[in-house]
């Protein structure tokens, strides 16, 4: 899934979209010392700096890290060699008690297969809650930067974390429209 970004100049939303689109539009906006441009990563709600120096191609080349990885279907078919297939597996260290290792090693397929199954099951079981937490955190990070000095910020933060949508939207009703609409989008866009 492609990451999206939103740029604000003061309280006004300039543009939302993929990194390249946002960067090229922001690059062309005349700077205003009284209203700096801030770009946010929508998935985290955190401000992010894009290096806008140079030509459009240079800017886009530096933003390649924000593009989705090429799909496996698009990759040319290479003859398969010996050994395990390259699945993007990253070796890391896990610290467990001996009884945990004994149980894992006794499972069909061994410790790695058992751990992958456990993680996949946990992801399925808590997927909605994880997405809600990530959305709430993104909304809070954005709010802290853009609305930290606005009226009712503290109470709105409490309502956000209490998942009291009606109270939250009521408390932020008088905020600048673009800030208000974006924080609601970040917090609740995945929920009906």
* Domain range list for the chain: 1-69, 110-192
Question: What are the residues whose beta carbons fall under 8 Å from the beta carbon of 13, sequence distance 6 or more?
Answer: 6, 7, 178, 181, 182
* CA distance linking residue 87 with residue 92, whole number of Å: 15
Give the pLDDT score at 104. 84
Give the pLDDT score at 130. 82
The DSSP-derived string for the chain is: ----EEEEETTEEEEEE-HHHHHHHHHHSPP-TTS-EEEEETTTTEEE-----S-HHHHHHHTGGGSPPPPTTTSPP----SSS-------------HHHHHHHHHSTTHHHHHHHHHHHHHHHHHHHHHHHHHHHHHHHHHHHHHHTTSTTHHHHHHHHHTT-HHHHHHHTTTS-HHHHHHHHHHHHTT--
pTM: 0.72
Question: What are the residues whose beta carbons fall under 8 Å from the beta carbon of 7, sequence distance 6 or more?
Answer: 13, 14, 15, 16, 22, 25, 26, 37, 38, 39, 40
Give the pLDDT score at 86. 63
Per-residue pLDDT of the chain (192 residues; tens, 9 = 90+): 689 999 999 999 999 999 999 999 999 999 898 999 999 999 999 999 999 999 999 999 998 887 766 554 545 556 666 666 666 667 778 788 888 888 888 888 888 888 888 888 877 776 678 889 999 999 999 999 999 999 999 999 999 999 999 999 999 999 999 999 999 999 998 654
CA 160 to chain centre: 18
* CA distance linking residue 161 with residue 153, whole number of Å: 12
Give the pLDDT score at 85. 61
Count Cβ atoms below 10 Å from residue 38 Cβ, excluding itself: 18
């Amino acid at each position: 899934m492609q990451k999206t970004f939103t740029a604000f100049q003061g309280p006004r939303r300039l543009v939302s979209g993929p990194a390249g689109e946002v960067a090229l539009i922001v690059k062309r906006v005349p700077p205003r010392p009284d209203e700096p441009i801030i770009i946010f990563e929508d998935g985290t709600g955190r401000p992010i700096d894009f290096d806008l120096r140079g030509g459009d191609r240079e800017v886009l080349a530096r933003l390649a890290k924000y593009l989705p990885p090429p799909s496996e279907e698009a990759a040319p078919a290479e003859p398969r060699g010996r050994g395990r297939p390259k699945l993007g597996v990253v070796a890391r260290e896990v610290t467990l008690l001996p009884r945990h290792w004994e149980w894992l090693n006794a499972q069909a397929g061994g410790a790695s297969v058992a751990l992958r199954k456990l993680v996949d099951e946990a992801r399925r079981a808590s997927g909605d809650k994880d997405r809600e937490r990530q959305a709430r955190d993104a909304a809070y990070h954005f709010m802290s930067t853009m609305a930290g000095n606005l009226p009712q910020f503290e109470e709105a933060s409490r309502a956000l974390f209490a998942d009291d949508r009606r109270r939250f939207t009521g408390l932020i009703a008088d905020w600048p429209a673009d800030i208000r609409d974006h924080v609601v989008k970040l917090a609740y866009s995945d929920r009906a």
